[in-house]
Structure 1
């Protein structure tokens, strides 16, 4: 696509995403958000969780509409509200990813606080998670065939859902975390060495923009040997999808091991 005017992207975000008397997010955040949205449209990630500020779904809907008007988006995205959170999703990519999770032996990492250390567990041991994922997929599939404009928006009741795990899946993480809801949101990751994976890419349609962070997730270092094949396949798939498009270049996937006194998910 032809180069876009960075100032136009900043102006649109600050106009539509302001909260109260405050303007929208700072310039750097506005440009990164535009890059992330474009990456979702390109299928490089299934969704993003909007956390730039306290803008509501109406504002984000208007924001995406303005991006379409500027020519940044070439296909329909969808705004999905879950548990008071707002995700910008590529319905086709999300459904494909959920289908893979439901039909393949995807491994999860149980980090419930009652455990002395993280452990691997299969989907079949995670209670109603299958039903919740199937509900999301059915809901998004019902959007097929709707016109590109305006940007669609919906809300799903998620009472009792493990949103940490659901968001990990919707955001495309290859090995999501899981904890038992009865344990609250505490976990057993404190002072546990974690291998953090970060994937970044550069926009070739927006000059002067720092690299866009596509993914950032972690796995306990103790589980990494068992998960290496899954993580390698995820990296190969991301590289293949990256090479199949022309809006982003110079994909990098890096890792580092960190140990933190506490981990909030």
Structure 2
């Protein structure tokens, strides 16, 4: 109970108006990044600036809830909390494999399409720039909370967020005309990963959620299986989360925001 009070107090002090339930979810999401269960968390749980989030993370280190260094990246106005060793390892593996799995969902298409590898040079270059940015922060000492900013005005943020969040395949769409896509009423395989944060007794925490269009699922099925096996290995390599639950269902939505 003392730890839960400390977590709520940290959120109340640095992230104004943060309710207890939200404070516990944020703490669990951050712990999942800290222990390497996932490389990154996109901060979307309220209005807070980089300095407020930095203060919050430092206080979680002070109470012993977090251990390793974390990096706060302001990417074109969106804040991400990053486990740099985990993220750089994932990005380097992608770049070294020579295969980036990107799904084109531009509004002009009738159906989603997997990118041919020869179309990916620009995204490959942007990922290399992102890896170059993160690399200097790999050797920060425990308890460090570093901050950086990347304007990334030419990047497709949906794509870059997908890679940082470690989805097995990511979406791209042509933003030259609008920000619409072709996923409306398209059957999608919706994958969710939930777990229990036993350290604070939080059940059914959703640590991953992404979709893959059914029209390209057969092409990416083996990729998803390999991703799932790596996730299971990461899960068994930590002690803060239990009861891993991976589910997949088919959904069809009138609109999909990316």
Which of the five TM-score ranges fits, normalised by the shorter chain?
A: over 0.9
CA drift at 1:150: 4.1
How far residue 210 of structure 1 moved from its aligned partner, in angstroms, is: 2.3
RMSD, aligned α-carbons = 1.4
2:70 counterpart residue number: 77
Contact 2:68 2:141 in 1 (8 A): no
Change in Cα spacing, 1:111 to 1:97, as seen in structure 2 (3 Å) is: same
**Aligned counterparts of 1:146 and 1:76: Cα–Cα separation in 2:** 6
Alpha-carbon distance change, 213 to 38 in structure 1, aligned in 2, over 3 angstroms = same
The range that moved more, 111-120 or 125-134, is 125-134
Residue 58 of structure 1: CA displacement? 0.6
Residue range with higher mean Cα deviation, 79-88 or 182-191: 182-191
Secondary structure in 2 matching 1:128: helix
Q: CA deviation at 1:240?
A: 1.0
Compute the displacement of 1:123 (Å).
4.9
5+ residue gaps, structure 2, are none
Normalising by structure 2, report the TM-score: 0.95
Change (3 A) 1:110 1:4: farther
Q: Alpha-carbon deviations, 1:42-73, whole Å to 9, x = none?
A: 11111000001110101000010010011111
2:88 aligned with 1:95, yes or no?
yes
Please report how far the alpha carbon of residue 122 of structure 1 lies from its aligned counterpart in structure 2 after TM superposition.
Answer: 3.9
Please tell me whether the aligned partners of residues 106 and 122 of structure 1 are also in contact (alpha carbons under 8 angstroms). Answer: no
Out of 24, 37, 46, the residue aligned to residue 31 of structure 1 is 24
Alignment partner of 2:120 out of 119, 123, 126: 126
**Matched residue of 2:21: which SS?**
helix
Cα deviations by residue, 1:163-216 (Å, 9 ceiling, x for unpaired): 000000000100011112314321000010111000011112113x22221100
Q: Return the alpha-carbon distance in structure 2 between the equivalents of residues 214 and 37 of structure 1.
A: 10
CA contact (8 A) 1:113 1:183 kept: no
Offset, 1:149: 4.2
Asked if structure 2 preserves the Cα contact closer than 8 Å seen for 1:203 and 1:212, the reply is yes
State how many pairs are aligned. Answer: 257
Q: Is the 8 A contact 1:112 1:183 kept in 2?
A: no
Q: Displaced runs of 4+ in structure 1, greater than 4 A?
A: none
Q: What SS does the aligned partner of 1:142 have?
A: helix
Distance 2:148 2:142 in 1: 15
* Structure-2 residue corresponding to 1:7: 5
Alignment partner of 1:188 out of 177, 182, 190: 182
Q: Would you say the 8 A contact 2:70–2:144 is kept in 1?
A: no
1:127 deviates by 4.9
Task: Give me the whole-angstrom Cα distance separating, in 2, the residues matched to 1:232 and 1:146.
Answer: 33
The TM-score with structure 1 as length reference comes to 0.93
Correspondence 1:26-65 to 2 at 5 A? 26-65=19-58
Distance 1:152 1:113, change over 3 A: same
Q: In structure 2, how many angstroms separate the alpha carbons of the residues matched to 1:140 and 1:75?
A: 15
Q: Match for residue 158 of structure 2?
A: 164
- Alignment gaps of 5+ in structure 1: none
